[in-house]
Structure formats: C-alpha cells, structure tokens
Amino acid sequence: MPEPSSRLWRTERVIALRAQLGVFRRGSGDPTSRFGADGSVTRAAQTPAGVGTLHLVCLPRGSEVHAQAWGPGAQWLLDSVPALLGDDDDASGFVPHHDVVAQAWRRFAHWRVPRSGLLFDALAPAVIEQKVTGQEAFSGYRVLVRRYGTPAPGPFPGLMAPPTPAGWAAIPSWAWLQASVDGARSRTLVRAAGYAGRLEEGLSVSVAEAHRRMRALPGIGVWTAAEVAQRALGDPDSPSFGDYHVAKDIGWALTGTPVDDDGMAELLEPYRGHRYRVQSLLGLAGHHRPRRGARMAPRTHLPTRGR
C-alpha cells in the first residue's frame, strides 16, 4: 500500500475533532466517516482531484493536528484541513444576547464553523434527508453509499467514499426505492447531478448566490440549501429553517417554549450574521427540548415540494 501524504497543522485554538466535525457524520453507521475511540476522525470524500481519505489526530496539546491522506485526492484533502477545522471562520463580531448562548460560547469558545469545500458531498445526503426521519434518511444514505460508492483509499476496510455526481445519476430507479428514497428525492438528486459543475461554482461566489443557484433547481428549498451552506461553504448565518426539530429546540433553549420558524427567525434576528453559529452552539451544549411524545414514524407518502 502506498505511504500516505501527511501534514502537521498548528493553531492557537484547542481543537476538539468530534465537536468540530460531528456535523458531517450522517448517523452512527455512516460508511463515509469514522470517529475513533482515541478521538481521531477519518473521512472519505470525492474531491476535485479524485477520491481520497483523510485521517485526523489531535496531538496531546490539542492545538496541533496530525493529518494523513490517501488516494488521488490526498493533497487536496490535506490542503483543506485548516478550513475544515474552522480556520476561515471569523467569529470576532459575535455577541451573545442570551445567557444560555453566552454559556455555550464560553464552553465551546474554540469551536468554529467548518468548511469542507465539497458542495455535492453535502448536497446528496441533504436531499436524501428531506421530509423523512433521521433514522430513515441515514439508512437510505448508508445503503446507497455502500452499494454505489467507492472504497476509500488507505488502511480502512469498509470505509466508503460517496458516489460522484455521475455515480448518483447512474443509480437505477429500483435501487432508490430499495433504499426507501422516494421518486421526488431521487429525481431531485439526479437532476442536481446534471448541474454539479454549475453548483460547485457556488464555492467561489457569494453565499447568497450559492443559495440562489441551489434553490433554482426544483426540489431544493431553503432547508436543503442551508444544510449545504453550513457544511460546504462554512456559512455561520444559514440556520436550518424548515427543520422538524431545530426551531422548537432553539425556542425551548432561549425562552423555555418551543417556537415555529417565524418564532425562530425573530429570536435569531439579533444574531444576524451568526444565526447558524447560535444553532450549532446550542446543539453542542445539548439544548434540546424534552421529547415526551412518540417518535416521528417513517413516512410512506411524502410531499414532492422542495425543502
């Protein structure tokens, strides 16, 4: 097996890899990610240079990260490490307006919004997650990646990179249905794959323009565009409007009462420019409303409107 490429990245922040990169993990069985007992994180991805695997380990002081990478995309992934670990995120203008946000900010003062620079790798699972339970979405993504993805380079048996856009587009209709992904979502993803190049250009334009390009495609709404902007673009101001839980959780954390999207918009308005940062900090701090009711059941008849 070829030796990995590697780099040592130093920063003034203390890096907690699980907190920093947990947003990229699509359920505990995600075949594209592994979180090791030693605190390491391993990710497989389709990069502009080809498939690659990135393995990250924090050194004892916490402000040094040892990165190793394999495959044609190895150098691209190594170059992306600072942005992936939040180095491009500017939190200097962030001011907490609620005690609970201030407490979360003190606890996670070294956390920054990550930026993967991989738009389609963020878009595909977001589309699969539209309008279904997390359990159902994670299962469908897992099945499709294992069947149509690419084995990850390096010494990580079973780790898979997701399909390329062309690979997603080539998945037969029956395979989507076997993975419990209905026709509306599969058509959205196949259509988006045909515009992958145009969408990837969103990495070099304004966040507003990237949102516009994504939402110009039928089946991609405000929620899906925000999920991509959070991960691929590292945008600190793209909160998850339209999510089944997020508005309720933020309302509960800030006021003691769950709210809807309009209520969340009002609560987050003083944080404009950092609204997703607030969402993430509250999530990292474990602020979720009590789940007293029955769990949301997997859906069998789903709306076709873009989310």
Note the pLDDT tens digit of each residue in 216-240.
999 999 999 999 999 999 999 999 9
Q: Would the pLDDT of 101 be above 70? A: yes
Q: Would the pLDDT of 184 be above 70? A: yes
Type of residue found at 244: Y
What tokens appear for 237 in the block? 């101001």
Residues 89, 90, 91, 93: what is their CA dihedral angle, to the nearest 10 degrees?
Answer: -150
Residue among 233, 285, 202 at smallest CA distance from 84: 233
Contact predicate 269/93, CB 8 Å: no
Q: How many Cβ atoms from other residues are within 10 Å of residue 244's Cβ?
A: 13
Contact predicate 56/81, CB 8 Å: yes
Each residue's pLDDT tens digit, 67-87: 999 999 999 999 999 999 999
Each residue's pLDDT tens digit, 251-271: 999 999 999 999 999 999 999
Contact predicate 18/62, CB 8 Å: no
The residues facing 35 across adjacent strands are 41
Residue among 186, 192, 194 at smallest CA distance from 218: 192
Measured CA to CA, the distance from residue 54 to residue 6 in angstroms comes to: 9
Average pLDDT, the chain: 92
**What is the structure's pLDDT at 60?**
73
Contact predicate 145/163, CB 8 Å: yes
